[in-house]
Amino acid sequence: MNSEFINRIIEAGVVGAGGAGFPTHVKLGAQAEYVIVNAAECEPLIRVDQELLVHFTNDFLEGLTRIIQETGAVKGFIAIKEKHQDVIKRLNEVIGNDQSIEVFPLKDFYPAGDEQITVYEVLKRAVPRGGIPLNVGCIVCNVETVLNVNRASQGKPVTTTFVTITGEVNAPATYCLPIGMSYRKALELCGVDTLDGKVGIDGGPMMGKLIIDFDAPITKTTKAIILLDIDSLLIREKTKTMEQVLKQSRIACIQCQKCTDLCPRDLLGHHVKPHIVMRIANYGLSDFSGMKTALGCSECGACELYACPNGLSPRRVNIMIKQEMAKAGVKIDKNAEIRPPSEMIDYRKIPVKRLIERIGLKKYDVKAPLEKFEQHLEKVVIPLKQHLGAPAIAIVENGMTVSAGTLIGKIENGSLGANVHASITGVIKAVTKESITIEAQ
């Protein structure tokens, strides 16, 4: 491992651009047999990876080659849905005879982009319950992270994020936006002038989080903003109170087990049993080992938005149980019996097309081409915690002038976290423990 390479990633503040924002210098500080780029983009409506792979093919492959070399991997795979033939063609043209990189075509199922499922598809190795891909010899990165690593090795920090803006907007598109811009401003780019009666989701429709405040900032991990009507099926599902979830479960759970049959993590051998968790929640049973099956849940939503014939929410019940277990200090038992993947794993894949219809998003399943962001932004609010670990510590004060790319928040030596940089040129207007506000001059 080259410490110069890792130092540059630390300096640039690179984190996993999708998901929870795991600091990339930690991930790439390991040695692995394989590197897998997760370009599955299995969440409906998000178009970032497809656009990046076509528009930044050379930079992306340069970044991947660097990661393969630095981690000592024998090969890098780009796992992408086989339906993206134009992207695959473009990648193969540039890869040419390079034997160290291979495009791995995935079927169009959900959740092909759950990194543990991606690893299984590519290598036929099952990451153990509670484990990480490195346990089976590989490192998984997403497309934008690879690009950010490439930029970091050229001394360029992370100041922007690629975001697909779609749903109830006039012109769905993908933009490269300054971190700290508000959701509201981002939506305006796609012709949204009123948010009355609308609800936003940050992320994909399955696992994304509801946007509580449209004036809140986008971060390094924002990959999509999906705007929907407040009375759409998906928003009604996502805004159910826990009380409603539990009441409906008691009335309508028929213990058919479909939630467990289609659970991707159970199929992988992780012993996730949502129907048992529902039974315990409904009848107040104190079946501790049954409850512990919730700990392996990835919260993918396949059970509640696709599998359950009665529209129930085993995912929400699992989350509730996981929170209770975390409070009680109960952790996943990594030494528990390792089960092989189910023989049914290849036959119980959820087709994305059917999923899109089921959650009422068919009319929004359209392209969102990459557009240039050319607006002058007056203000950004940059959170000091956009990643897993400790927040960055502000190193600027009110009144200071900064340029786009200036380091404004630093991780403490040795702690897990990521540096934070100014995304626009301007003056620091506010510094709190949570964020730094910059106004353009």
Number of residues that bind ligand SF4 (CB under 6 A): 28
Q: Does 361 bind ligand SF4 (CB under 6 A)?
A: no
204 lines the binding site for ligand SF4 (CB under 6 A): no
Count CA atoms within 13 Å of residue 359 on its CB side: 31
Q: State the DSSP string of 47-90.
A: -HHHHHHHHSHHHHHHHHHHHHHHHT-SEEEEEEETT-HHHHHH
Q: Is 278 one of the binding residues for ligand SF4 (CB under 6 A)?
A: yes
DSSP string, 90-133: HHHHHHTT-TTEEEEEE-SEETTTSHHHHHHHHH--PPPTT--G
What is the distance between the alpha carbons of residues 319 and 89, in angstroms, rounded to a whole number?
A: 41
Closest CA to 24 of 38, 43, 39, 8: 8
Smallest CA-to-CA distance from 115 within 265, 14, 224, 13 is with 265
Closest to ligand SF4 by CB, 126 vs 253, is 253
Instruction: Please state whether the peptide bond connecting residue 111 to the residue before it is cis, i.e. omega within 30 degrees of 0.
Output: yes
Q: Which of 307, 321, 359, 384 binds ligand SF4 (CB under 6 A)?
A: 307
Verify binding: residue 299, ligand SF4, rule CB under 6 A.
Answer: yes
- Residue with Cβ nearer ligand SF4 (251 or 366): 251
* Residue 380 is a binding residue for ligand SF4 (CB under 6 A): no
Please tell me whether residue 64 binds ligand SF4 under the rule CB under 6 A: no
Among 85, 154, 255, 403, contact with ligand SF4 (rule: CB under 6 A): 255
Q: Is position 274 an interface residue for ligand SF4 (rule: CB under 6 A)? A: yes
Site for ligand SF4 contains 116 (CB under 6 A): no
Q: Are 81 and 105 contacting, i.e. CB atoms less than 8 angstroms apart?
A: yes
Residue of 7, 31, 289, 310 interacting with ligand SF4 (CB under 6 A): 310
How far is Cα 116 from Cα 42, in angstroms, rounded to an integer? 13
- Looking at residue 221, its amino acid is T
256 is a site residue for ligand SF4 (CB under 6 A) = yes
Q: Does 301 bind ligand SF4 (CB under 6 A)?
A: yes
* Least distance in angstroms from the C-beta of 253 to ligand SF4: 3
Applying CB under 6 A, among 152, 199, 218, 303 the residue interacting with ligand SF4 is 303
152: contact with ligand SF4 by CB under 6 A:
no
Kind and range of the H or E run holding 357: helix 352-358
Residues making up the chain, counted from first to last: 441
- Residue 172 C-beta: closest distance to ligand SF4, Å: 27
From candidates 37, 201, 259, 291, binder to ligand SF4 by CB under 6 A: 259
Residues 316-335 that bind ligand SF4 (CB under 6 A): 318
Q: Which is nearer to ligand SF4, 190 or 302 (CB)?
A: 302
The CB-of-315 to ligand SF4 minimum distance in angstroms stands at 4
C-beta separation of 332 from 127 below 8 A? no
415 is written with which tokens?
């702690």
Q: What are residue 435's DSSP bridge partners?
A: 383
DSSP state of 303: I
Q: CB 119: neighbour CB atoms within 10 A?
A: 27
CA 304 to the chain's CA centroid = 19
Q: How far is the CB of 425 from ligand SF4 (least distance, A)?
A: 43
Which of 64, 300, 355, 381 touches ligand SF4 by CB under 6 A? Answer: 300
* Residue 285 near ligand SF4 by CB under 6 A: no
* Least distance in angstroms from the C-beta of 251 to ligand SF4: 11
User: Hey, what's the torsion of the CAs at 45, 49, 54, 59, to 10 degrees?
Assistant: 160
Least distance to ligand SF4, CB of residue 99, Å: 36
Distance CA 324, CA 214 (A): 30
Tell me the backbone φ, ψ of residue 88, rounded to 5 degrees. -60, -40
102 vs 299 by CB, closer to ligand SF4 = 299
By three-state DSSP, how is residue 39 classified? strand
User: Which position among 204, 314, 391, 426 is part of the footprint of ligand SF4 (CB under 6 A)?
Assistant: 314
Smallest CA-to-CA distance from 9 within 213, 157, 178 is with 157
> Per CB under 6 A, which region of 57-65, 94-102, 195-203, 293-301 contacts ligand SF4?
293-301
Q: Which of 160, 162, 165, 164 is nearest to 179 (CA)?
A: 160
- Member of 73, 106, 308, 350 binding ligand SF4 (CB under 6 A): 308
225-254 positions binding ligand SF4, by CB under 6 A: 253-254
Write out the binding residues for ligand SF4, residues 122-141 only, by CB under 6 A: none
Local structure of residue 133 (DSSP, 8 states): G
* Piece of the chain touching ligand SF4 by CB under 6 A; list 214-222, 283-291, 313-321, 419-427: 313-321
275 counts as binding ligand SF4 under rule CB under 6 A? yes
List of residues contacting ligand SF4 (CB under 6 A):
253-259, 263-265, 272, 274-275, 278, 297-303, 307-308, 310, 312, 314-315, 318
